[in-house]
Amino acid sequence: MFQERLLTKYDHQENEAPVIVQRINEEANALREQLRRTKERYESKCEKLHSTSEELDRTQRLLKKMKSLVDDKKLAERDELSRKLTKAQQDIEVKDVTIRVSLTISVSISVCIKTTTSELSSAMSNLIIIISFCSFVSNVR
């Protein structure tokens, strides 16, 4: 009886052997396909890494070149001087207007002093207009 069971078991295993071999072959094929796809992804990532690395190198070289240009030409100092010049020009324009208004006021005052009383009210009106303009210019500054 024991021998019959062993023989039956052996016959079943013998009948299952082609199925097992087929499963093993299918699994091996699937693993080969998975390995091939993994290699393709790896190669793709390597190419992308290489191109990104080259781009980073180009960008770093460009940055170094730009920094050396800034240092060589002292662009920061030039920019600061340009801002100072612009501010000085604006200050000069404001002072020029102030001087012109002061001169006009002085002339108006001396005209007022020399004029007769009838002309005095007209000159005073002009003086008030000029003083208003001067106040306006001062407020604009």
What are the pLDDT digits (tens) for 87-112? 988 888 887 777 777 777 776 666 65
Print the domain residue range for 121. Answer: 74-141
Are residue 86 and residue 130 in the same domain, yes or no?
yes
Residues 2, 63 share a domain: yes
pLDDT score recorded for residue 33 = 93
- Same domain flag for 81 and 64: no
- Do 79 and 68 have their domain in common? no
Average pLDDT of span 70-95 = 80
Q: For 22-67, what is each residue's pLDDT tens digit?
A: 888 999 999 999 999 999 988 888 888 888 889 988 999 988 888 7
Say how many domains are in the chain: 2
Same domain, 69 and 3: yes
Pull the structure tokens for residue 5.
């069971």
Question: 105: which DSSP letter?
Answer: H
Q: Does residue 86 share a domain with residue 65?
A: no
Domain identity same for 80 and 129 = yes
Q: What average pLDDT does the segment 113-129 reach?
A: 64
Q: What share of the chain is helix, strand, coil (3-state, %, to 5)?
A: 95, 0, 5
Q: Are residues 35 and 68 in the same domain?
A: yes
Measured CA to CA, the distance from residue 56 to residue 28 in angstroms comes to 41
Give me the half-sphere count of Cα atoms (radius 13 Å) on the Cβ side of residue 32: 6
pTM score of the predicted model: 0.40
> Which residue among 55, 73, 91 closes a domain?
73
pLDDT of residue 103: 72
